[in-house]
Amino acid sequence: MGRVVLNHSTHIEGLIPVLKKLALNIRIKTITPAIISRVRGRSTNLVIRVSVKTINGYKAIARRGKTAQEVFISTDLSKDELKKLLDFCNYG
């Protein structure tokens, strides 16, 4: 079971409950929401997409409306397994 590192005062609306559900998986070590930025596109619902592999896991991008936030996930899951788990936590 992992933990969610809350080191910022602001997060995308609806992101933290999804990350806490994701952290319940035994193969997730830590989840760290990072930089928030504005984007040109518009996404009505919260969408979390796995982006690139890092040294100890993956970087994901969470988007909602005109806002995007980086999320670093420390895990030993494969990219496909993490995508399925994120989809389940977000929509299931």
Span 34-90, pLDDT tens digits: 999 999 988 889 999 999 999 999 999 999 999 999 999 999 999 999 999 999 988
Flag whether pLDDT at 9 surpasses 80: no
Q: Residue 66's pLDDT is what? A: 93
Q: Residue 90's pLDDT is what? A: 83
| Residue 42: Cβ within 10 Å count | 10
Q: Residue 41's pLDDT is what? A: 85
Q: Which residue has the higher pLDDT, 7 or 74?
A: 74
**pTM of this structure:** 0.93
The Cα 36–Cα 24 span in angstroms is: 24
